[in-house]
Amino acid sequence: SQQGEEDPQALSIQEGENATMNCSYKTSINNLQWYRQNSGRGLVHLILIRSNEREKHSGRLRVTLDTSKKSSSLLITASRAADTASYFCATLALSGTYKYIFGTGTRLKVLA
Amino acid sequence: ETGVTQSPTHLIKTRGQQVTLRCSSQSGHNTVSWYQQALGQGPQFIFQYYREEENGRGNFPPRFSGLQFPNYSSELNVNALELDDSALYLCASSQSGTRSSHEQYFGPGTRLTVT
């Protein structure tokens, strides 16, 4: 079963607008990562945020993490048509196997 | 490009058959994880191999098995295929180390269709 839930399930915006997607998870984590997936292909690693970090930036991406609420958000600024994809959060537990628990994903469509 | 490759790209099998999927990990990585992704869902962890031994398993039956070779490449074997096994199978490689910095890099996946 999947630990994470992402919200919204689908998002459609105009090129140039910002896109925000949220991820909630259930157990304590070591780190949280965001991935992008184009058309059912492999996952592309976007950004990793550690449990002791609150915010991280990478280019047009901004990720926040609130461990007290067990939630994270991914903001894509000035979106482009090429950002159209599914976005997943994945969490790594504090101990045990280095396995990632994925959320259900947000399908983002950026209209040109 | 992550340097993780998978073969084949697509595969069609009949219910009851057996299938082997292959993965070559990124150079320098010693850990391989396999995930199953059903249509419209997030990936689900099948199992992980570290230095040729299974290092953790998700909620999958024993007919899902794997191997890791000395060069850290890996195989996923599925016996007695069922229709519900139709999915995208993803391989991810990583270098075991500090948990807080641990990252996985995914291959392009193998699309398995069971008819």
Per residue in A60-111, pLDDT (tens digit) is 999 999 999 999 999 999 999 999 999 999 998 888 777 889 988 999 999 9
What is the average pLDDT across A48-69? 96
Q: What is the DSSP string of A21-71?
A: EEEE-SS-EEEEEEEEESTT--EEEEEEEETT-SEEEETTEEEEEETTTTE
pLDDT higher than threshold 90 for residue A47: yes
**Is the CB of B98 inside 8 Å of chain A's CB atoms?**
no
Residue A27 or residue A47, greater confidence:
A47
**Is the CB of A26 inside 8 Å of chain B's CB atoms?**
no
How many residues appear in chain A? 112
How would you list the strands of the sheet with B74-78, edge to edge? Answer: B5-7, B19-24, B74-78, B64-68
Tokens matching residue B57:
């398993």
Contact A100 B104 (CB under 8 A): yes
Q: What is the DSSP string of B32-90?
A: EEEEEE-TTS--EEEEEEETTEEEEE-S--TTEEEEE-TTS-EEEEE-S--GGG-EEEE
Q: How far apart are CA B61 and CA B84, in angstroms?
A: 13
Q: What is the pLDDT of residue A3?
A: 59
Q: How far apart are CA A15 and CA B73, in angstroms?
A: 41
**Is the CB of B39 inside 8 Å of chain A's CB atoms?**
yes
Q: What is the pLDDT of residue B51?
A: 86
Contact B41 A104 (CB under 8 A): yes
Nearest neighbour of A98 by CB, restricted to B6, B48, B105: B48
Q: What is the pLDDT of residue B22?
A: 98
Q: What is the pLDDT of residue A1?
A: 46
Residue B109 · residue B37 · CB < 8 Å? yes
Nearest neighbour of A2 by CB, restricted to B42, B100, B108: B42
Interface of A with B in 34-93 (CB under 8 A): 35, 40-45, 48, 50-52, 88, 90, 92
Set of chain B residues whose Cβ sits within 8 Å of the Cβ of A45: 2, 103-106
Per residue in B91-111, pLDDT (tens digit) is 999 887 666 667 889 999 999
Per residue in B7-57, pLDDT (tens digit) is 999 999 999 999 999 999 988 888 999 999 999 899 999 999 988 899 889
Residue A27 or residue A53, greater confidence:
A53
What is the average pLDDT across A19-46? 92
Nearest to B113 by CA among B8, B33, B25, B5: B8
What is the average pLDDT across B64-76? 94
Residue A15 or residue A39, greater confidence:
A15
Nearest neighbour of B90 by CB, restricted to A30, A33, A43: A43
Any bridge partners for residue B75, and if so which?
Answer: B22, B67
The number of C-beta contacts closer than 8 angstroms across A and B is 89
Dihedral sign of CA atoms B58, A94, A38, A75 in order: positive
End-to-end CA distance of chain B, in Å?
32
Q: What is the pLDDT of residue B92?
A: 94
Radius of gyration of chain B (CA): 13
Q: What φ, ψ does residue B84 adopt, rounded to 5°?
A: -70, -10
Residue type, B92: A
Cα distance from A64 to chain B (closest Cα, Å)?
Answer: 16
Q: What is the pLDDT of residue A99?
A: 82
- Chain B residue with minimal CA distance to A43? B106
